[in-house]
Structure 1
């Protein structure tokens, strides 16, 4: 027991984390209209509460599009990814924390006037879709899409929805809640129809960069314990519901 304080003193102190995520992901994360380099939403709120309990400050920043966020985690330029689906490729440079934040269903978003019947992945064959660069919808679907589907990567989900309305793509692959919130905030929800069946349902995790000096088994365990307690109290869902309404009401206004 007496050796523990000495070891702790030898390790570099970790009192602040640089955090980034998908900044186009309301109600979980989006850029603060009043301070565009800052990211707000349900996930930052959860993280701020949990890390405050652990005595660690966090900065949740916009570092670029989602693909750049993942690259920043891979190279260690950020400490923590605020929400990511689990894939084998990402596990090479991320340490995921269990439990997850929440299950996230993905749907097919179609212009209402050009909607088609979606029942299974093969119904997307012969059509062109759009989604964000770097998005994953589960390893099974990703592999199927790579071999069978034509899906264009774009830098913002607004661009993808605009392309669909212009007839440049037939559908947008995006999460059910996030798509509804994004479209509702812009008054465009009635222009689209989502598939009744999910493309996939993936769990959203918090993940540490393997190159972060703050990434220790002890910190991951303490964070996981706090998240288990917070989920059990219903606090995570409360934050999601709260920020869903906030974004729909005024998320894109200064």
Structure 2
């Protein structure tokens, strides 16, 4: 019994969990949602006791509209988020994109959580170009953060062998390699990359190319193999997954 108590304490300390108040109080009406730190969509560092950000606000609003309150759980990496989703240890994850692979183990909210404008960035030491033609990527090295969305045309360009994808774990290493000439471009959600540029004080070293490449949509997603209470399951199935909620 003592071992179980110690384990429970360690688990509680390891996972940041914050319940947002709502109109309901039953644990059957608490939606556990796993997230990672991807500002400005999910900010877990400004106030460690209270997740914030665009995706946090939208998820909370969507859940409350369906009679649920939210408990956010922090994961250290996107790979851990997917592992928790596949094992069914949480009710949901946010924000995530709809892909053929994810449709095999996730159901997605009817309404989007985020709309991400995808942009291309270059070093200010490079020759200014526009993104009107992807031919600027021919033979180039494109840096991207692991687990972060790009844009289908660029994905196709890379898969076609016209450019080389270089994956990084952090924006610090990604932008450092851009300014040092180890990658030619960085691609990613504009707001996320711009937030990282400002956070690292690299405004004079990195420039955004225009126009933006396109937009991808992030959703609140639910593991198919998650076993929830009948009341919570009903609210997920009959409201979040089926209804276009009022804005």
Q: How does 1:234-253 map to 2 (within 5 A)?
A: none
Q: Name structure 2 gaps, 5 residues minimum.
A: 1-26
Distance change >3 Å, CA 102–CA 45, structure 1 → 2: closer
Q: 2:41 aligns with which of 1, 12, 28?
A: 28
* Aligned residue among 53, 57, 60 for 1:45: 57
Cross-structure match for 1:90: 102
Give the corresponding residue for 1:112: 124
TM-score (norm 1): 0.73
2:94 and 2:218 in contact (8 A); partners too: no
Are residues 222 and 22 of structure 1, via their aligned partners in 2, closer, same or farther at CA, if it must alter by over 3 Å?
A: same
Q: TM-score, normalised by structure 2?
A: 0.75
SS in structure 2 of the partner of residue 100 of structure 1: coil
> Are residues 1:159 and 2:176 paired?
no
Task: Give the number of the structure whose residues are more often helix, by fraction.
Answer: 1
Question: How many residue pairs get matched?
Answer: 216
95-104 or 178-187, which deviates more = 178-187
Q: CA deviation at 1:116?
A: 4.5
Cα gap change, 1:21 to 1:143, in 2 (>3 Å):
farther
Q: Give the 3-state SS of the residue equivalent to 2:236 in structure 1.
A: helix
Deviation for aligned residue 1:196: 0.4
Aligned residue number for residue 17 of structure 2: none
Question: Any stretches of 5+ residues in structure 1 without a counterpart?
Answer: 1-12, 232-254
Is the counterpart of residue 122 in structure 1 residue 122 in structure 2?
no
